[in-house]
Amino acid sequence: MKVRSVLCLSAVLAGMLVTGALISTWSPRSTAAEEKTGGPIYAQLSSVVTQQPKGSDPLLIAMESNDALSGIGHSDKEKTTDIVIKTAGVYFIMAAAQVGKESGTESAYVDLWVKQNGKDVDNSNTRQTIRDPKFTAVLVCQGIAECKAGDVLNVALSASSAGHGLGAIATKPKGEPAIPSIILSIYKVN
């Protein structure tokens, strides 16, 4: 067996062990909402629209696609920036935005973070520097949040300068699935 095959096999086995540990950790008991929805509480939301802050004020990112939704409130038509928690608990949140810019050669940056009930979540901000308009990167913001029923979560985006098209960039490659400007995943862990 080649070294590469051994390493791949080791990675697969490690992934299976971690997945098994996560599943056993995340599903010890059901809540009333889980019983009502028939399973776990989660959401995966996305947007295939490029979103760019217009000035120095942060932009709340809209997500017009409910890719998977169970036990969490989100409209893909109205207030697409708001994710409403229906069941109190601890949630894992991951927002991944494809960031870039349309013009300019100077370094600029994009920041991405989570807001809860209109307030910035402490220590949730992430930053990506963009030098070239041909360059994109996936900027990930993730964390654990204690939420109450009725809490509203948002993802905020800011750019260091206006006028260069800095922001979350959606792409539609020919013959492939769309590359969303953002994908947001939430899972109730407890």
Q: Render pLDDT for 61-106 as a digit per residue (tens, 0 to 9).
A: 999 999 999 999 999 999 999 999 999 999 999 999 999 999 888 8
The residue-averaged pLDDT of 45-52 equals 97
* More confident: 189 or 12: 189
Query: What b/e readout covers 121-151, taking b as 16+ CB neighbours within 10 angstroms?
Result: beebebebebeeeeebeebebeeebebeeeb
Rounded to whole angstroms, the Cα distance separating 100 from 182 reads 12
Task: Provide the H-helix boundaries in 27-121.
Answer: 32-37
pLDDT of residue 163: 77
φ and ψ at residue 7, rounded to 5 degrees: -65, -40
| pLDDT tens digits for range 168-190 | 999 999 999 999 999 999 999 99
Residue with tokens 């360059």: 135
pLDDT of residue 106: 86
Task: Provide the H-helix boundaries in 27-87.
Answer: 32-37
Rounded to whole angstroms, the Cα distance separating 131 from 126 reads 17
pLDDT of residue 38: 58
Residue 14 reports pLDDT greater than 50: no
pTM for the whole structure: 0.79
**43, 185 Cβ separation under 8 angstroms:** yes
pLDDT of residue 162: 80
